[in-house]
């Protein structure tokens, strides 16, 4: 049985993780941590920590996991470059699954996006559109950022230079090198992502729509079971699903 500690346990994803874990006889939640709680008080009880707290908290969570040699699954997004660097410091000590999205469908979208970008080539313009609920704090979403990184990698461009966040005013003609991102917020949308490849006379769209957080929770739980006992390092859901 895999023993879990969940940080951000009172949030929407935290509550879904607890509910989904309760239906799996191979999982046991031994710690529920949120604001005002101390992870250090319970970390010895768990095999793995699943972090869905807040981006500024993750480096401290990773440091404590490294100190106690506990595996870590990171579901929090919106990390700064400093946050990411602090987390990576511990990859030689503990195994971590670090993914922007734990859905099987979204990870299939990542794979398809790379293949489509490779096949269609530079003659197609690239745009990503994402929509989430009105309470989401970061934009663009972590999933959209991963899609953008995939597109930039295939095109062999620096993402920060190629990226265009929406458009306003007299922007001039679209350049062939830019990659557009558009973040929409409203209502209770769980998560919609569209990757658009627009060429002359045709357009290809890859779309994923999530209707329940349960798909993300089950993916994160699958990652938690998979990562326990792995060699130290940073893994993602492509590793967990065997897509690499």
List, by residue number, the catalytic residues: 132, 136
Q: Which residues contact 220 (CB under 8 A, 6 or more apart)?
A: 13, 17, 50, 52, 73, 75, 102
Report residue 165 as tokens: 């966040």
Is residue 63 within 8 A of residue 90, CB to CB? The reply is yes
Is residue 127 within 8 A of residue 182, CB to CB? The reply is yes
Give the number of residues written for the chain. 244
Task: Name residue, tokens 């990503």.
Answer: 128
End-to-end CA separation in angstroms for the chain: 27
Interatomic CA distance for residues 234 and 214, integer angstroms: 24
Is residue 91 within 8 A of residue 98, CB to CB? The reply is no
Specify the 3-state DSSP secondary structure of 9. coil
Report residue 194 as tokens: 């569209």
């Amino acid at each position: 049985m895999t023993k879990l500690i969940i940080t951000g346990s009172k949030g929407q994803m935290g509550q879904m993780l607890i509910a989904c874990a309760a239906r799996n006889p191979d999982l046991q939640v031994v710690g529920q941590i949120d604001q005002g709680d101390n992870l250090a008080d319970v970390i010895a009880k768990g095999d793995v920590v699943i972090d869905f707290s807040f981006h500024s908290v993750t480096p401290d969570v990773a440091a404590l996991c490294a100190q106690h040699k506990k595996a870590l699954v990171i579901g929090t997004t919106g990390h700064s470059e400093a946050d990411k660097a602090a987390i990576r410091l511990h990859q030689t000590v503990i195994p971590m699954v670090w993914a922007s999205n734990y859905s099987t469908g979204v990870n299939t979208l990542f794979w398809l996006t790379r293949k489509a970008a490779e096949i269609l080539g530079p003659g197609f313009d690239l745009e990503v559109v994402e929509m989430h609920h009105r309470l989401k704090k970061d934009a663009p979403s972590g999933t959209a950022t991963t899609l953008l990184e995939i597109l930039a990698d295939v095109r062999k461009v620096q993402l920060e230079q190629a990226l265009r966040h929406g458009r306003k005013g007299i922007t001039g003609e679209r350049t062939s090198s830019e990659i557009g991102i558009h973040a929409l917020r409203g209502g209770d949308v769980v998560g919609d992502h569209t990757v658009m490849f627009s060429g002359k006379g045709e357009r290809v769209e890859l779309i994923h729509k999530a209707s329940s957080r349960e798909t993300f929770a089950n993916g994160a739980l699958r990652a938690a079971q998979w990562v326990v006992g792995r060699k130290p390092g940073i893994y993602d859901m492509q590793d967990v699903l065997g897509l690499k």
